[in-house]
Amino acid sequence: MEYFKRDKNLNIEERKIREYLLNIAHADGGGKAKYFRRLGNAADDWELFAKALKSHAINAEIGQISSTPFGLKFIIKRHIGNHECDHVFIRSVWVVNKLDNFPILVTAYPFKQ
């Protein structure tokens, strides 16, 4: 899919990583944060985790595509791409909004292959 060919096109906000995916105190993301932190990801080094998520999106086949009020939603299933985590599979959810046409990370979570 053309949207996911280049990492500069992928939008991952710092707060999405630091305040949600790696924040163990977050009401919805706390469980994910514990999991991702056990893999060595830290909020202070959020850019490394963002880089792994971008690699995950670029190198995977798109699992599902659906239309939402916000734009096209893509669900990607693949290992996270970190050589230490090749056995760890995650789903990442991205939305390409109708205005700027760039994928924006919505969430990521582990799943068993």
pTM of the model: 0.87
The domain limits of the chain are 2-110
76/73 Cα distance (integer angstroms): 10
CB 109: neighbour CB atoms within 10 A? 14
pLDDT tens across 23-81, in order?
999 998 899 999 999 888 888 999 999 998 998 888 888 889 999 998 899 999 887 75
C-alpha pair distances (Å), 84 with each of 32, 38, 39, 50, 88: 18, 12, 8, 16, 9
81/79 Cα distance (integer angstroms): 6
Closest CA to 64 of 106, 21, 11: 106
pLDDT tens across 4-29, in order?
776 678 999 999 999 999 999 999 88
